[in-house]
Structure 1
Amino acid sequence: MTDDTHRSVSIERTSSGHYTATNPRGGTISFGSSGTAEFTPVELLLAAIGGCTSIDADVATSRHTEPDGFTVTVSGTKVNDEQGQHLTDLAVTFHVTFPEGEEGDRARAILPRAVKNSHDRYCTVSRTVEIGTPVTSTIAE
């Protein structure tokens, strides 16, 4: 029996300040330090927060109709205080439009509930950030 609750990625250094993360299915994403076009780890976190709820909202609403536009912005403020560096004021803003008509009306009506349910219960990423969980860093022998 496999453990379908376990999640992991591996990260490989490709050059100074540049890395590639690989998931168990073989998907990859490159990232690096600021100053390059690559996403930084903080930007990946923001994308994960917004992406998680985007998927939930999209699945719920697109059952009724395809959106005319679907853009999500995620922002936060990086601070360095007595707790060290971290983000504050995280905000996820949906900019979604649907076509006119009955199907679009249903999708518009569902969107607020889908976003709320994702935020409150289903989005593992934002739930983990809000609840907080210890992160353990070790060095393999």
Structure 2
Amino acid sequence: MSSIFSQADNDLIISRINQLTPNSKALWGKMTVDQMLSHCQAPLDFAFGKTPMKANFLMRIIGKLVRNKILNSKEYQKNSPTAPAFIRKETYDFEAAKQGLIERINVFSELGQKAIKTTKHPFFGEMTYEEWSKMHTMHLDHHLRQFGV
């Protein structure tokens, strides 16, 4: 399993990102490529402590019940639900969104586990650094596969 803290693994993710173009089309879902690049930054920003989020009590209970099933799966399912704060409906500058995502991924390579400012996920609850790594790498892989790279 790849790690969000590994420079070599992140170089592979970044090489996939660099294969995207402003004309890349989704194989499923509603997002455009620029929206996807912006969307993928949001969970990373949360991990960095830049985007505070809270889930209501019911969502926290559901999250704890499904956490292991999701984190132990091979990949995220197509059209999985997302946090409202992560939904992107605007148009974004492709190059700026691409560079922003690459810069955030590089923070994990540079700082390792220190990049994560909270180990408490608003939906899944308390998570280990390994679980955070798996969640982020699965999420990035999911959306890169969505756009065929």
Larger Rg: 1
Structure number having the greater helix percentage: 2
TM-score exceeds 0.5: no
Compute the TM-score of the two structures, normalised by the length of structure 2: 0.25
Structure number having the greater strand percentage: 1
Compute the TM-score of the two structures, normalised by the length of structure 1: 0.26
